[in-house]
Amino acid sequence: MTDKAPDLLAIGAHTGDVEVTMGAIIAAHTRTGARATICHVTLGEGGHRTKSPAEYAPQRRREAEASASILGAELVCLPHADLGFAGGPEVVASLIDLIRERKPGVVLCHWPGSFHSGHSHSANCALQAVESAPVARIKTAAPPWKVGAVWCPENWEDPFEFHPSLYVDVSDVVEVWEKSCLEHELFRGGALSFRYLDYYKGAMQAHGAVADCRYAAAVASPWVFAPRKVPFLTAP
């Protein structure tokens, strides 16, 4: 019998970011009975090569709903615009509320070292929210909550200083991940020409070779400054 994984909150800058980079991990958690929440900070409605944001936004919401259902996750879409997104206190406050409401054991978010400004802003907001959620003097409807761990999955747009800290065996849920991604026009090649599924499935296969399984998702621990004192150094 599989042990129940911790409840999980996955935060992405745009619809599709969570599904393609974190979806396999989400499926690995929900198949054990864990509660998972997908949070899109924006719909990513500015990312189509021919459709206007007004036209693309409702499509992206429908795609996100279908993907979340396949992954067994709940969906939250924050009301922030894609074009010109720069994070800020309102975003952090929304994420603090969500963390305290959902009480995840694990948070997934973008790696901060990104050439995509939306990703780096989203990552910084997510990390600030995780840091602030347990602070009692910050008042919200729900009580303070301390997240157990934060991990940043691999993303081809977030490459700077990303080095895997851990591999998650997703061999048994790759088909679920792929099915959820195919709900998105973006991952069927219609919105942009980048071959997302080839890239991420190939990456998971390569990581699986390192981790001694068929497919593995790579995650890294975000930058932290938390020195601790020890009397002397010991062997691991």
Instruction: Express each pLDDT in 104-159 by its tens digit.
Output: 999 999 999 999 999 999 999 999 999 999 999 999 999 999 999 999 999 999 99
Instruction: State the Cα–Cα distance between residues 208 and 201, nearest whole angstrom.
Output: 10
Nearest to 6 by CA among 93, 91, 139, 108: 108
**For the whole model, what pTM was predicted?**
0.93
17-73, pLDDT tens digit by residue? Answer: 999 999 999 999 999 999 999 999 999 999 898 999 999 999 999 999 999 999 999
Exposure b/e, 167-196, CB count within 10 A at least 16 = b:
bbbbeebbebbbebbbbbbbbeeebeeeeb
Instruction: State the Cα–Cα distance between residues 36 and 16, nearest whole angstrom.
Output: 16
Residue with tokens 């396999």: 24
Give the sign of the dihedral formed by CA 40, CA 41, CA 42, CA 44: negative
149-201, pLDDT tens digit by residue? Answer: 999 999 999 999 999 999 999 999 999 999 999 999 999 988 888 999 999 99
| Longest alpha-carbon distance in the chain | 62
Topology (CATH) of 8-220: Rossmann fold (3.40.50)
